Structure 1
């Protein structure tokens, strides 16, 4: 393997970015797999993310012994030692203002997208390149794939966004219109500011050189002046506007082949965008793969590396390997007990979906197939824990796979109302069905959010199980008068055996599992606790869920017919 460190890439405005280039020995040109972003190309996975590294080692002990020494492993980036023998070059670029690349740090900005476009074109014209560039990476390195692919670089040949958002408002900053501040306030200092170019206080050391990996030190004032604070920007833009439009991918402009891989347990960031990115892309050759487990394990496990390899071999090497013979959906269908069964499907939502309404009953706290004739209401204090509605045991094995939503009649004496909706499942002993989530050790079946003043939907973009909210205006909430809302709940997949139940819980704060301890209690780090976004004087009050009679509050569930494909 040839390893070239801090290779300079000049972009259109004259700025210079620095990249690490790994490629096979010899003169034969090879395809390129690229990532471009702010996480620091020289920070070893173990040094930057020790707890996650230890968990990965537990799940895949051979990560740094089975065909790779692990020396070049970086957070959320492909391992060069696994890919170089497969006939690929790996290019990892420090984005402008990060790591060894000087300049103003502006994450997810149009400037970053332009830079990424230019890096792709640079890689496609090198003597060691066959002219075809693919994009492969997790999270940030997936999200900016959607952005740059829409600019159509000539040398871009395929993309594989692995667990990354596509809509910066709905997927990242504002869930249902509620600012998701907590994760950003953890992420920004640890993963962005720690490796800002010029940060002389960074704790990350380049294992190759023994030196700091952030370039020449700058003063604190210079550092602050040399970046744009993304959290402040999110706060300044509580509604979708031109600022968001400039950062959200024009998915329909993407033409290259796509393999989008999402996580069923990725509520908060690593689920919705993979499904709706797949649906929205203009590519005629696109596949969706959905899996479980942690946010990082699947990307590195051998079976998933083989999946990535087959995809890129087909579109970067033109190998006739049968990739296109498989259906466009590769779903790992969830069963209780952390069991996943791979099943291939042809469309999303599945054509055989039986849209099933389950009605809430405030008097019994039940959930049933038919509405109750009597009107009833159940109240809870905001902010705070709310109410859970539980079904009777299922008499037959029941699968729910697809988008889902909650249509609710509500009222409040507060000025506004935040709805946190959680779908749960229970076994016959009333033990909750849980899965290892992307960023939480135990996640429920699905979650959704909505601020009542954001309840306006766009009918032409909405469909069964998927209300599409506008988020461009504030619609005042009537004082203590009934009104109807539709809550988008992020997609799910679960097969429930006979005797199992399903429930919907509605809270006035982030979901926390009863008795849960530690920093993760069911919603991962994706909490909504910003006092400027949720001031007590606006949201404190008594919320009521209304059911029965004219109040047809219900879940809309994607029940899958029993004649499942194999």
Structure 2
């Protein structure tokens, strides 16, 4: 292939971004796959802090490294050697303020979305481009796809968003209003690649150039050119314009796309992909739900072949390549962590039998019939909480889709954080855990809510997915019960006869009772808390004098509307 390094792309305010362009050796016009992000276009996947992931990924999935020299592989991006062979051009742009592109680094900002729009249009006008541009990438490179699609660049014809958030507040900053400390970890990686690190930074293993640009700026200059989003998250507990300005206008997202998500991606990106599929105005949109680890199937043959078929259709006009592809390509788990695939046409599934499992604090049970009497049970706010267990299932039952829990709580203080965990137990009462996007020991799913954030947006709420406005804080009166609707992120599991489900309600992150290691070579085990590094342990956000005191659950009142978790039971076809 032919490579053009550091190609300048001037923005409307005079800032010049830098792009690397990988083209097929044969001259001609080709469709383009573009990316725009902060991870340094010159940093190889197998280099520096990405190396441990590359080594584990290629050990577990040798096919990933078998199609090219891997010399030009980059973190969470398409392999240009493989794609240029298929008649595509790959363009990688260092986002403003990162890598070799100067300016202020302000992640996910409207300014960066506009830059991405302008880069797409610049690419579409080049004499080596057919005018058809697509986007493909993982995580950050997926999340920004929704933002730029809402700006409707004319050259953008298709997107493949692999595990990317779409709601800046609810998925990236605060789960149910509770701050996630994820960005405290990730930003160190981004800051090391800020433009201006210069000689203090890394060098490209391919070109020998400084990954973060030729300039070496002073610490003061670097600080002035950097907007710390984690600091903003800490200081902004409610959803304000800072967050909403980073969310897409779904009515303007009309481009064809595939939204690919991990069924074990609770707290990471799973909700974002599903909400994007549900809300975007695109008439040609597809949802793919897989298992495994966060990045794996983007790089395996499974993921590559799916992307190629999609882009061949929408960027090359090969309608046969994507012909009769299901609207929803669903993989459902079994307790042994294997998956089976099934084609569907919508989400949630139209045939769902929404089934209430009532919470019984007197007997610590989940039951499909309401309890006959009222009861309470208390737990310490930072303790292990309480668990309600169902009877053994009398027949194999599939639970696939989103859930909602309706609970009544009171607190010793003015607030309480609720961490809900849906769990699966075998006949031997051992818990079944699964390989998830970011953790080796994920339960079925999670839900979170800060009690003072209980206010609902009635227009956006659905029977199976409450939507909290997060625009005001409604403190509790100590000792007085309040009703809460808790969004529980989707799952997909086949529950065999004799197995039980359980709902745990606690005031801290889940912890698996049995430490489960990732299979050798898959990826480094981060923890056994179900969410990996996406925990909620900020002492500033969760002071113990407020969130560490006694919380009480009240059950059995209000008949058929008594506290319960409503689960998506799927009748057999």
2:548 paired with 1:548:
no
* Secondary structure of 2:308's aligned partner: helix
Pairing 1:409-428 to 2, within 5 Å after superposition: 409-428=408-427
Matched, 1:96 2:106: no
1:178 and 1:7 map into 2 onto residues whose CA distance is 42
Matching of residue 197 in structure 1 with residue 207 in structure 2: no
Question: How far is 1:201 from its partner?
Answer: 6.2
The answer to whether 1:525 aligns with 2:533 is yes
TM-score (ref. length: structure 1): 0.97
User: Cα offset for 1:549?
Assistant: 3.3
Distance change in 2, residues 1:159/1:425 (3 Å): same
Structure 1 residues 145-189: Cα deviation after superposition (integer angstroms, max 9, x where no partner) = 000000000100011110000000011101001111x21110001
* d(CA) in 1 for partners of 2:385, 2:543: 19
Q: Distance in 2 between matches of 1:286 and 1:373?
A: 46
Residues 1:57 and 2:58 are matched in the alignment: yes
Counterpart of 1:499 in structure 2 is 498
Query: 1 CA distance for matches of 2:72 and 2:94?
Result: 15
- Give 1:386-425 correspondences, 5 Å limit: 386-425=385-424
Number of the residue aligned with 1:174: 174
Deviation at 1:208, TM superposition (A): 1.4
Partner secondary structure for residue 234 of structure 1:
helix
Q: Secondary structure of 2:490's partner?
A: strand
- Deviation of 1:238 after TM superposition, in Å, equals 1.3
Displaced runs of 4 or more, over 6 A: none
Cα RMSD after superposing both structures: 1.4
Structure 2 CA distance for aligned equivalents of residues 562 and 132 of structure 1 = 42
Tell me if structure 2 keeps the 8 A contact 1:332–1:340. yes
Q: Which runs of 5+ in 2 are unaligned?
A: 517-524
The aligned counterpart of 2:521 is none
Tell me, in whole angstroms, the C-alpha distance in 1 between the residues paired with 2:63 and 2:289. Answer: 24
SS of residue matched to 2:319: coil
Q: Report 1:378-527 matches (<5 A).
A: 378-516=377-515, 519-522=526-529, 523-527=531-535
Number of residue pairs matched by the alignment: 560
| 3-state SS in 2 of match to 1:160 | strand
Contact 2:439 2:526 in 1 (8 A): no
1:539 aligns with 2:538: no
Q: Residues 201 and 293 from structure 1, CA distance in 2 versus in 1: closer, same or farther, beyond 3 angstroms?
A: farther
Q: TM-score, normalised by structure 2?
A: 0.96
* Residues 58-207 of structure 1: pairs in structure 2 closer than 5 A: 58-64=59-65, 66-180=66-180, 182-190=181-189, 192-200=190-198, 202=200, 204-207=202-205
Contact kept, 8 Å, 2:366 with 2:502, in 1: the verdict is: yes
Q: CA 1:338–1:201 in structure 2 vs 1: closer, same or farther (change >3 Å)? A: farther
Q: Which residue of 1 aligns with 2:520?
A: none
Question: Which shifted more, 75-84 or 530-539?
Answer: 530-539
User: CA–CA distance in 2 between the matches of 1:174 and 1:508?
Assistant: 15
SS in 1 for 2:320: coil
Offset from partner CA, 1:328-350 (integer Å, 9 cap, x none): 10011111212111111111110
After superposition, the C-alpha distances for 1:209-262 in whole angstroms (9 at most, x for unaligned) are: 334311111111111111111111112221111111111111220111011001
Deviation track 1:115-174 (CA, whole Å, cap 9, x = no partner) reads 100000011011110001001000000000000000000100011110000000011101
Distance 1:440 1:3, change over 3 A: same
Q: 1:446 and 1:275 mapped to 2: Cα distance? A: 15
Cα deviation for residue 23 of structure 1 reads 0.8
Which residue is 1:292 aligned to? Answer: 291
Deviation at 1:515, TM superposition (A): 4.5
Q: Which runs of 5+ in 1 are unaligned?
A: none
Q: Partner of 2:493: helix, strand, or coil?
A: strand
> How far has the Cα of 1:519 moved from its partner?
4.4
CA-to-partner distance for each residue in 1:40-88, whole Å, 9 max, x for gaps? 0111112131221122112211322x22111111110001111111110
Q: Determine the structure 2 residue equivalent to 1:31.
A: 31
Alpha-carbon shift at residue 474 of structure 1 (Å): 1.0
Partner of 2:12: 12
- Report the 3-state secondary structure (helix = DSSP H, G, I; strand = E; otherwise coil) of the residue aligned with 2:195: coil
Whole-angstrom distance in 1 between the partners of 2:13 and 2:496: 59
Query: Which whole-Å CA distance do the structure 1 matches of 2:457 and 2:97 have between them?
Result: 38
Q: Which range is displaced more, 548-557 or 333-342?
A: 548-557
Aligned: 1:341 with 2:340: yes
Structure 1 residue 324: deviation in Å? 4.4
CA shift for structure 1 position 320 = 1.9
Tell me, in whole angstroms, the C-alpha distance in 2 between the residues paired with 1:451 and 1:57.
40
Compute the displacement of 1:486 (Å): 0.8
CA distance in 1, matches of 2:159, 2:250: 13
- Which residue of the partner structure matches residue 207 of structure 2? 209
Aligned to 1:276: 275
